[in-house]
């Protein structure tokens, strides 16, 4: 499907039925697969033949949907995971082990921040967090001898900072390591980080890709561009024999294009088993089929809501990269000329103002979710960050009166009227 445009890939990539076969991607609801001889199955275990034997590692439904996402991102291989958290963990842990180090943007999803700063630290993997707006000098200074990866989010959740992908990719490559970009918020419809130098792209498919609040999931896409063999000493897991697979050297046997995903599937999925259920992969695919139609509407609603809030006297501040007054406006125009996403954050007077405002909303529901067809909102101070005092919140850049609103697919006039009555009520 390489020759087709993105919208066509959203609808049709990943699965082409043969004569008389199902038009829709079939859900292969089977834990296991049958073989005629032990020798046939043996070849799968030796990674000598391609095929399926157990759904903890791989399932055909998942692989069809992953292949679609790989085409959408412009990558060479992809896999689905049970969640976005699992995707980011696997992407990092596939190339990092105890004693290694990660350079990460400090402006990332809270769950990923905990994963890297607490859980991976317990595994002996350390990290240096840097501002997405750091200078080139500061960025270069964050690297160590044992740095194995650089990590950032295209548009950070919930801070809505925009990553300078080219700059981070350049620094990563200067130091001989790959750049991993979590592209959840813009989706490949609005940004394709591989085109700007990212090596690995991850997703929480739970968000816009699914888009209907139905299935938790994640994805990892490899650009196929990073030359593991050129940095042999840094990535022994890819460049030296894997004793658990009869001495296979992934980077030699599967090349730049497939080594990363093959290792991630055959080692990490085998041992940790964070696979997406085929049923969820099917739901995800339904979301992907309309992603190119939905994203522009999310952006249109986000832009309209941001502009309305920006002009309202009860609103202290609005963050949305599509506003010309936003510090990320220029960077967003460069990487996302068609707009970024439908998530807007804004600040009301204080915690009580935020609570009262949200209590009066009729269309926007109070949820921890974002990127859904239905508009939803959240006040971090009274929910996700409720253990923090007003002073601590201020210091963390999450003022007590901050509200994050994820604009859905409703008519924008209705959304604005709902916000208006809730602000003025």
Ligand X SMILES: *Cc1c(COP(=O)(O)O)cnc(C)c1O
Which residues lie near ligand X (CB under 6 A)?
83-85, 109, 111-112, 153, 157, 182, 184, 204, 206-207, 216, 218
Q: What is the DSSP string of 256-299?
A: HHHHHHHHIIIIIIHHH--PPPHHHHHHHHHHHHTHHHHHHHHH
75 vs 217, which CB is nearer to ligand X? 217
Distance CA 55, CA 40 (A): 17
Smallest CA-to-CA distance from 125 within 152, 104, 105 is with 104
Shortest separation between residue 71's beta carbon and ligand X, angstroms: 21
Tell me the C-alpha to C-alpha distance, in Å, between residue 23 and each of 20, 163, 240: 9, 39, 42
Shortest separation between residue 83's beta carbon and ligand X, angstroms: 3
Smallest CA-to-CA distance from 329 within 298, 297, 307, 349 is with 307
The answer to whether the CB of 405 falls within 8 A of the CB of 344 is yes
Residue nearest to ligand X (CB): 84
Shortest separation between residue 334's beta carbon and ligand X, angstroms: 20
Shortest separation between residue 185's beta carbon and ligand X, angstroms: 6
Distance CA 27, CA 15 (A): 12
Distance CA 181, CA 165 (A): 8
237 vs 340, which CB is nearer to ligand X? 340
78 vs 423, which CB is nearer to ligand X? 78
Shortest separation between residue 406's beta carbon and ligand X, angstroms: 10
142 vs 220, which CB is nearer to ligand X? 220
238 vs 288, which CB is nearer to ligand X? 288
Q: Integer distance in angstroms from the first to the last C-alpha of the chain?
A: 52
Smallest CA-to-CA distance from 78 within 257, 236, 209 is with 257
Distance CA 4, CA 9 (A): 7
377 vs 422, which CB is nearer to ligand X? 377
Shortest separation between residue 203's beta carbon and ligand X, angstroms: 8
């Amino acid at each position: 499907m390489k020759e087709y445009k993105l919208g066509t890939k959203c609808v049709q990539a990943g699965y082409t039925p043969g004569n008389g076969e199902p038009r829709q991607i079939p859900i292969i609801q089977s834990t296991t697969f049958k073989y005629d001889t032990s020798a046939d199955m043996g070849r799968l275990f030796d990674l000598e033949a391609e095929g399926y034997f157990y759904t903890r590692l791989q399932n055909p439904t998942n692989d069809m949907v992953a292949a679609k996402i790989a085409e959408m991102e412009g990558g060479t291989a992809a896999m689905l995971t049970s969640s976005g958290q699992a995707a980011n963990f696997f992407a990092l842990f596939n190339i990092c082990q105890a004693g290694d180090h990660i350079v990460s943007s400090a402006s990332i999803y809270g769950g990923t921040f905990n994963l890297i700063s607490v859980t991976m630290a317990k595994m002996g993997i350390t990290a240096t967090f840097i501002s997405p707006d750091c200078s080139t000098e500061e960025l270069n200074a964050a690297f160590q001898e044992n740095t194995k990866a650089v990590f950032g989010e295209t548009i950070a959740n919930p801070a809505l900072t925009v990553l300078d992908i080219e700059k981070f990719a350049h620094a990563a490559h200067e130091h001989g390591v790959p750049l991993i970009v979590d592209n959840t918020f813009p989706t490949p419809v609005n940004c394709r980080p591989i085109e700007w130098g990212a090596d690995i792209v991850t997703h929480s498919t739970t968000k816009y890709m699914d888009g209907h609040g139905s299935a938790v999931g994640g994805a990892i896409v490899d650009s196929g561009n990073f030359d593991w063999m050129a940095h042999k000493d840094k990535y022994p897991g890819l460049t030296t024999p894997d004793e658990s697979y009869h001495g296979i050297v992934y980077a030699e046997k599967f090349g730049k294009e497939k080594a990363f995903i093959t290792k991630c599937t055959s080692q990490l999925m085998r041992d940790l088993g964070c696979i997406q259920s085929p049923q969820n992969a099917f739901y995800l695919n339904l979301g992907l089929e309309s992603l190119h139609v939905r994203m522009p509407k999310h952006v249109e609603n986000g832009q309209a809501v941001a502009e309305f809030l920006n002009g309202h006297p009860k609103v202290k501040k609005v963050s949305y990269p599509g506003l010309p007054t936003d510090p990320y406006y220029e960077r967003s125009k460069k990487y996302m000329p068609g707009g970024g996403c439908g998530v807007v954050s804004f600040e009301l007077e204080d915690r009580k103002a935020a609570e009262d405002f949200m209590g009066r909303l009729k269309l926007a529901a109070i949820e921890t979710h974002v990127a859904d067809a239905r508009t939803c909102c959240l006040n971090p101070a009274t929910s996700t960050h409720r253990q923090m005092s007003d002073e601590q919140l201020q210091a963390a850049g999450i003022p007590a009166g901050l509200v994050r609103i994820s604009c859905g697919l409703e008519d924008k006039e209705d959304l604005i009227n709902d916000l208006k009555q809730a602000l003025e009520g």
